Amino acid sequence: MPPTRQRFEEDLDTLRSRLLEMGAATEEIVRDAILALTHQDMALAATIIPRDDAVDRMEVEIESLCLRLMTRQPPLAADLRLIGTALKAVTDIERIGDHAVDIARVAQRMSREMLYKPLVDIPRMGEMARHMLHDALEAFVHRDLELVEEVIAFDDQVDALYARMQRELQAIMRQDQASVSQASYLLFVAHYLERICDHCTNIAERVAFIETGSRRLPVRGGTVTTARNEAPPTPVSPSSKEGPTHLV
């Protein structure tokens, strides 16, 4: 391998490593934003914004690395797809960090309120979001199309859970006017988590573009997966007919 190409490959490895570092940092602030909310921990919530600022700085560094890679030598088509996808992925990761900040701000506003019921589905959805982000980045780094399919299928589960949470929170607000403010905040949190999962799905879907030049996944069993929601969602247990038993 010519020395210039070897250096280029080393820089591509650096790009992958930096993306994983950015993703890991973002995964942690999503986790801690949810913990701050569920435990009403103002001190933990206050750490989220400066940590998101660090994620923003990583985004700038990775963008600069991508631009250097594109100008250092004429890249191959596959290299261009990888670099272009990395540029889009860092934007998705940065937006995930912003949504973690949004959740932390809700946690700060709710820190002195007594929760009407224990939070159950929001922590569960937060774990799903972290799992999706981890797997989406692993799929990117290892070009794992099977993992891409898993992330897309997982997003269907998140969408089903989000729809159920909306119904439950709206039912709570109808039953108890005093809960409207708190339930509204939790609706915002559920929305932020759903958007986080959408960004994870964006990252995963672009892995197909790196591998094939198309966002269509390879044909399996006579079908082609082109985007989220094309695989049948895994059912989520319906809420109780007697009404919600927890505050999401």
Q: How confident is the model at residue 223 (pLDDT cuts 50, 70, 90)?
A: very low
**Through-space distance between the first and last CA atoms of the chain, rounded to whole angstroms:** 56
Neighbours of 25 (CB within 10 A): 17
Domain boundaries, the chain: 3-212
* Of 28-42, 55-69, 226-240, minimum mean pLDDT range: 226-240
Q: How confident is the model at residue 203 (pLDDT cuts 50, 70, 90)?
A: very high
Q: Mean pLDDT across the stretch 20-38?
A: 97
CB-count exposure of residue 126 (10 Å: 0-12, 13-18, 19+):
buried
Q: How confident is the model at residue 215 (pLDDT cuts 50, 70, 90)?
A: low
pTM for the model stands at 0.85
**Phi and psi torsions of 220, nearest 5°:** -140, 120
If you average pLDDT over every residue of the chain, what do you get?
86
Strand partners, 223: 220
CATH code, residues 3-212: 1.20.58.220
Percentage of residues in the chain having pLDDT higher than 70: 85
Encode burial over 217-239: b for 16+ CB neighbours within 10 A, e otherwise: beeeeeeebeebeeeeeeebeeb
Q: How confident is the model at residue 214 (pLDDT cuts 50, 70, 90)?
A: low
Q: Mean pLDDT across the stretch 78-86?
A: 90
Q: Which of 187, 191, 208 is nearest to 81 (CA)?
A: 208
